Amino acid sequence: MMRTLPITSHHLTVCEANFIRLKKLLKDFSLKENLFESVNPNGSSLNIYLLVLDKTEHTITIEAKQSCDNKNIHSNFVLRIQMSLDAKLAEVISYQGEKPLPFFMNQSKKQSYDEKLQQNRFLTEWLESIFVSGISSKEQLKDILGND
């Protein structure tokens, strides 16, 4: 059993939940990319794109993008997510194109604990909203609408 401090316990729970949601969206990591569309009650649609950038035996790096077709709503963003397959954790490593800092940087120059937690909570809420609002992959939409 892994001992965790109370301050890291919540963070690990958030990262574990994000791993499970992403695994479901990427069909147990069998897909290299997936494009979804979600329609909001106001009629605007959100395009959600998940792309596997790198995959090794123990890790997967994913880029997640969202864009909206409504010019009045600014909900475009890009996240990079590092997934640890053996630990079953998914953690945001880059938000809005911000480059992750290399491991050799001084601790004072790294993201704060709060900033990392906020980004991972944002990922959690975004993934939850994808499942709640109902999503369809482009292939599912073609089958439903009968379009080729």
For the segment 116-132, the average pLDDT, to the nearest whole number, is 85
pLDDT value of residue 73: 60
pLDDT value of residue 33: 85
For the segment 10-30, the average pLDDT, to the nearest whole number, is 88
Residue with tokens 């991972």: 120
pLDDT value of residue 130: 78
How many structural domains are present in the chain?
1
Q: Which tokens in the block code for residue 140?
A: 């599912």
Domain membership flag for residue 72: yes
Q: Which tokens in the block code for residue 143?
A: 């089958």
Q: Which tokens in the block code for residue 138?
A: 């482009």
Who has greater pLDDT, 7 or 85? Answer: 85
Asked whether 49 and 64 are in contact (CB, 8 A), the reply is yes
Domain membership flag for residue 31: yes
β-bridge pairing 45-55 and 136-137: unpaired
For the segment 80-94, the average pLDDT, to the nearest whole number, is 92
Domain membership flag for residue 1: no
List the Cα angle 137/142/145 in 5-degree steps: 120
pLDDT value of residue 44: 67
Structural domain that includes position 16:
6-145
DSSP conformational letter for 108: G
Indicate the pLDDT class of residue 109, thresholds 50, 70 and 90. very low
Largest CA distance in the chain: 56
Domain membership flag for residue 120: yes
Grouping H, G, I as helix, E, B as strand and the rest as coil, residue 60 is strand
Domain membership flag for residue 23: yes
Residue with tokens 């792309």: 51
| Position 137 pLDDT exceeds 70 | no
| Position 144 pLDDT exceeds 80 | no
